[in-house]
């Protein structure tokens, strides 16, 4: 694919891990980029390397510090897995990741795609890195009768295409093409280096197994406030966000709570609508503790719960602009519909 490689050399994004593709740098970037936009990842990646410049620095850190630095990236299982991987690396010969994809698969948090990416980019091993971008590019190139081949077939093609020379460049070029031009919607076909060979340039094919829409889910997030302190727990009815500080979450409204707003957010296969409700004391049966503003700033909360606290602050700021602390109904409506 000379045209693809030439395009990649001219148009690849100047990502920091590409200038220094060590096994550690590639592993950190791959864990962070799973299901997360690269523009979001970049500041986290730079902060991470300043705090944890090596496997040993990461392995020695308490998990609470690791999760705090990860706050805002979501999918915190990745942070815990990366932390566990660092500890495992220190038990390996020479304290280094293996180059063999099969051995990489035996380590915490590493699946087939991540093993392929680390092996090909960091170690120059000819093995595929098959992700969603690669599947989309190959699916459109190999589409027949308005449909793409199955993922099983596309994985086999991806493996067969990997060259022995510069496999990391090959894999990154395919992924970059999918990220920059062969977009899920409105692909930039006129700029594609493979457009002359692509049967999908005039009509996008249907996926063999289309992804089902997210399942709607409703919940209530309780903001429990006493003066300036906020009550936090580590319990969640669905066991989400293990190891993080949380606002209590319930499937049903609390009878003493006052509704102050609403947020929506995605979580795995769900689209969640959360009612934010204000309460003055913890619900019975929950374990937790009060946090002062300074303690709250150091606690690790998932992004939706930070949004709930921000909504409370926004409500307080609006109330401060009105005598007697009463909030006009039109402002309450605006907050509730967000």
**Does residue 30 have an active-site annotation?**
yes
Residue of 30, 71, 176, 219 marked catalytic = 30
Question: Among candidates 108, 101, 251, which has minimal Cα distance to 171?
Answer: 101
Catalytic residue positions? 30
């Amino acid at each position: 694919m000379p045209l693809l490689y030439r395009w990649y050399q001219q148009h690849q994004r100047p990502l920091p891990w590409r200038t220094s593709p060590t096994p550690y740098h590639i592993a950190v970037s791959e864990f962070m980029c799973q299901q997360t936009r690269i523009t979001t990842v970049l500041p986290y990646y730079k902060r991470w390397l300043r705090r944890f410049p090596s496997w040993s620095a990461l392995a020695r850190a308490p998990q609470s510090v690791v999760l705090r630095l990860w706050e805002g990236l979501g999918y915190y299982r990745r942070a815990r897995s990366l932390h566990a991987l660092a500890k495992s690396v220190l038990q390996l010969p020479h304290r280094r990741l293996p180059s063999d994809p099969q051995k990489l698969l035996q380590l915490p948090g590493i699946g087939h795609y991540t093993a392929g990416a680390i092996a090909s980019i960091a170690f120059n091993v000819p093995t595929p890195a098959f992700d969603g971008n690669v599947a989309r590019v190959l699916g459109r190139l190999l589409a027949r009768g308005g449909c793409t081949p199955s993922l099983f077939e596309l994985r086999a093609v991806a493996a067969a295409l990997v060259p022995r020379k510069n496999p990391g460049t090959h894999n990154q070029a395919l992924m970059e093409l999918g990220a920059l031009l062969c977009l899920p919607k409105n692909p930039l076909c006129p700029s594609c280096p493979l457009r002359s060979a692509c049967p999908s340039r005039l009509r996008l094919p249907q996926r063999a197994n289309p992804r089902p829409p997210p399942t709607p889910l409703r919940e209530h997030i309780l903001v429990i406030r006493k003066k300036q302190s906020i009550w936090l727990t580590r319990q969640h009815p669905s066991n989400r966000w293990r190891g993080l500080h949380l606002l209590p979450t319930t499937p049903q409204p609390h009878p003493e709570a006052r509704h102050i707003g609403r947020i929506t957010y995605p979580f795995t296969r769900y689209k969640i609508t959360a009612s934010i409700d204000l309460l003055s004391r913890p619900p019975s049966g929950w374990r937790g503790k009060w946090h002062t503003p300074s303690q709250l700033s150091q606690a690790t909360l998932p992004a939706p719960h930070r949004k709930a606290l921000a909504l409370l602050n926004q409500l307080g700021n609006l109330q401060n602009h009105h005598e007697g602390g009463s909030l006009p109904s039109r402002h309450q409506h605006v907050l509730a519909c967000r």
